[in-house]
Structure 1
C-alpha cells in the first residue's frame, strides 16, 4: 500500500512517530524511503559562501554574525568568475546541485543582488540545479531569481516556533515562513530544515517537524543539521549531538515528508562512516560535498568518494524527482 502525502500532521502523531523504538522507526522510514526514492542514490550538493561574515543577525550558533568575535573575517561578494569556476569544479567532482550562500539579513535590490542573478543564470546554463540562500526575500526578488534560473531557495526555520527567540532575536519565526511562502509563490523549490543541538527540547524538535510537514507544500529538501559549536558564539560550549538524535530526526522527517530529499548536513565531519551509514538507512539521501560548509569543516571529497564506494551509493542525477516537472532543464553550454 503506497504511503499518502499528508500536510495535516498533528503534534501528537509526530510525537508518537519520533518516540518509536529506534529499530521500528528506522524500518518504517527505510520502507517509505524505498517507495519514493532509489535506495542507492544520494544527491550530492556543493555549498559555497559567496559573501562571508559581517551579518547583522544575532543567530546564536553562527560564526558569521557581526555581533560575535569568531575566526571568520568578513569578505565582500566573490567575483563572478571565481564563483563560476567553483561551480565547474563542483560539477566535475560529481555535484549536481550548487548552492550559493550570502551572509545577508535580507536580499537588497542593488548591484550585488544583480550579480547574484548573473551567477544563477550562468550556473543554470551548466546543467546544474542552482540553489541560493540570501536571507529574507520579498515576492519581487523571488520572481527575479526564478526568472534567472534558480531551482531552489534555502531558508531554514532552524528550530521550533516556541524556542526560536531563544536562538535569534533580530528576526521572527514568521519572517522565515514569509520568505518560504514568497519562494513557493515564485515556483522556486524550497529547501528548509533546521538544527539540533541548540539547547532545544525533544518537544521543540517535534514542533519544528510539525511546521515543516504542515506547509501547504512540503519542502523539496529538508536539511537536518547537527550544531557545530563554534568558538566565540553563545553556543560554543554546547555538547555534540548524539548520532541517535540525528537518526530520530531523519527517520521522522522521512516518514512525514516522503518525497523530500532529507539532507545529512552540518556535523557530518564529526561522524564516522558507520554513523553516516545509519543516517542513510534512516532515510537521508542527500549530502553536502566539499571541504567546507560556508565556514565549518566538512569531509574531504576523497573521503566521500571512498564512502560512496564502500556503501555502493551513486550520485543522484540533476533535475530528478517530483519537483522536476516545474523546471525546464537547461542543456549544458558547449
Structure 2
C-alpha cells in the first residue's frame, strides 16, 4: 500500500489520467480495494434549503439571479420541513444529508440562525450533516461545528487558470480560504469539481492536484458532470463522455486513496453500466433522491435496484468515527 502523498506534480497526475483506459481503471480498482471496502457506497441526500436569487455569476448555475431560467425562487425552508426531508432520506437509505443554500456567502443573521437549528435537528437523527452555503468565515465555521455539522462542501469547480472563465464574482483564493476556515473548525471537507464546462484535460489535472496537495485530503471529493440548463451561459455544452468521468474518478481515487469519491451531478443521464464503470474506478458515494438541488436525479428505488444488481451495500453514518462536535446534544432553538 502506497503512502498518502501531498506533493503531486502536474506531470505525475497527467501521466495517471492519460493511461490506457482499462489499465487506469484496473489500477484505481486495485488501490480502492487496498484502502476501502469496495462494495460499500455511501448514500447522501442533497436538498436545496434556499433556492435561486444568488448574486454570483457561476456560468453553469440556474440559481444565479442574473440568468433567465425557469427556476422558481424559494425562500429559506423551515426547520420542520428539513427534518421531514431528512427522515424520508434516511428511510430511503441515506446516511448523510447535505443542505444547500443559494448564497454567495454566509451572513450573520436570522437565516443563518435557522440553518444552525437545522443542523442541530438533523444531527439528532444520527445522520452526517453537511452544508454548502457559500463562503464562510472562521467564526461561522465554528458555529456550524458547535451545532454538530459533520462536513462542509465548497467545490473548486475547475482549475485556478480556468476559474475566471466560469466565475468572476469571487476568486479561487476565496474558495481555498473557505476550505481553510472549515479545517480550522475541525470539520470534514467535501470539495471537488465539475467536468464538462469546456475545460481542458490540463485543467482537470490541475484541479485534482490542488485538492490532492491540500495539507489534508478532502474526506469527500464530488465529481460532477455538467447538466446544461437553458438560460445559463453553458446551456449549449455537449454532454461529457462517460469515459472522461471515469478517468476523473479513477485519477482522484489513485491520488486520494482514503477519500470518499462521490459520483454526483449528471448521474440521471448515466446507464447502470456506465455507473458500474464509475464504481469500479473507485467511486464510493452517490447522491440519491429525485433532485440534486435543482437538477433531476435518480430516485432511491432505482438506486436500490442498481445496488442489488452490482452487489453493492450502503455505508453507515460516521463510518470513520464520530467527531466530538457531532455527539448528540439537546436541540436549542434560536429566536
| Class of the TM-score when normalised by the shorter of the 2 chains | over 0.9
Q: Quote the Cα distance in structure 2 between the aligned partners of 1:125 and 1:37.
A: 28
Report 1:304-319 matches (<5 A).
304-319=303-318
Number of the residue aligned with 1:286: 285
Q: 1:41 — aligned with what?
A: 40
Deviations 1:104-157 (A, max 9, x none): 000000000000001101111110000000000000000000000000000000
Residues 98-247 of structure 1 correspond to what in structure 2 (within 5 A)?
Answer: 98-247=97-246
Verify the 8 A CA contact 2:157 2:192 in the aligned structure 1.
yes
Q: Which residue of 1 aligns with 2:92?
A: 93
Q: Deviations over 1:68-98 (max 9, x none)?
A: 0001111110011101100011111110000
Structure 1 unaligned regions, length at least 5: none
- Measure, in 2, the Cα distance between the counterparts of 1:331 and 1:145: 14
- Aligned counterparts of 2:146 and 2:199: Cα–Cα separation in 1: 38
**8 Å Cα contact 2:150/2:326 also seen in 1:** no
Task: Provide the C-alpha distance between the structure 2 equivalents of 1:43 and 1:100, rounded to a whole number of angstroms.
Answer: 16
Partner of 1:249: 248
Aligned equivalent of 1:20: 19
Partner of 2:268: 269
Q: Could you tell me the TM-score, scaled by structure 1's length?
A: 0.97
Whether the 8 Å contact between 1:126 and 1:332 is mirrored in structure 2 is no
Hey, what does 1:61 align to over in structure 2? 60
CA distance in 2 between counterparts of 1:160 and 1:329 reads: 33
SS class of match (1:169): coil
How far off its partner does 1:327 sit?
4.1
Let me know the Cα RMSD of the aligned residues. 1.2
SS of corresponding position for 2:189: strand
Q: 1:103 to 1:184 in 2, by over 3 A?
A: same
Give the Cα–Cα distance (whole angstroms) in 2 for the partners of residues 120 and 231 of structure 1. 33
Q: Deviations over 1:228-284 (max 9, x none)?
A: 000000000000000000010000000010010000000000000000000000000
CA deviation string 1:279-327 (max 9, x = no partner): 0000000000000000000012111011011111111010013xx3644
How many residue pairs match? The answer is 330
Contact 2:267-2:298 within 8 A present in 1 as well? yes
8 Å Cα contact 2:48-2:99 kept in structure 1: yes
Deviation at 1:332, TM superposition (A): 10
> Aligned in 2, Cα 1:327/1:311: closer, same or farther, shift over 3 Å?
farther
For structure 2, the 5+ residue unaligned runs are 331-335
| C-alpha displacement of 1:328 | 5.6
- State the 1:63 CA deviation: 0.5
Aligned to 2:333: none
Secondary structure of the equivalent of 1:98? strand
C-alpha distance in structure 1 between counterparts of 2:2 and 2:109, whole Å? 45
| CA shift for structure 1 position 15 | 0.6
SS of residue in 2 equivalent to 1:230: coil
Once the two structures are TM-superposed, the CA of residue 330 in structure 1 deviates from its matched residue by 3.6
Q: Is the 8 A contact 1:153 1:191 kept in 2?
A: yes
**What is the alpha-carbon distance in structure 2 between the residues aligned to residue 212 and residue 300 of structure 1?**
30
2: CA distance between counterparts of 1:326 and 1:126?
15
CA apart distance, 1:36:
1.4
Contact 1:50/1:83 (CA < 8 Å) preserved in 2?
yes
1:176-204 deviation per Cα after TM superposition (whole angstroms, max 9, x unaligned): 00000000010000000000100100000
Distance in 2 of aligned mates of 1:111 and 1:331: 23
Alpha-carbon distance in 1 for matches of 2:323, 2:11: 33
Shift of residue 3 of structure 1? 1.8
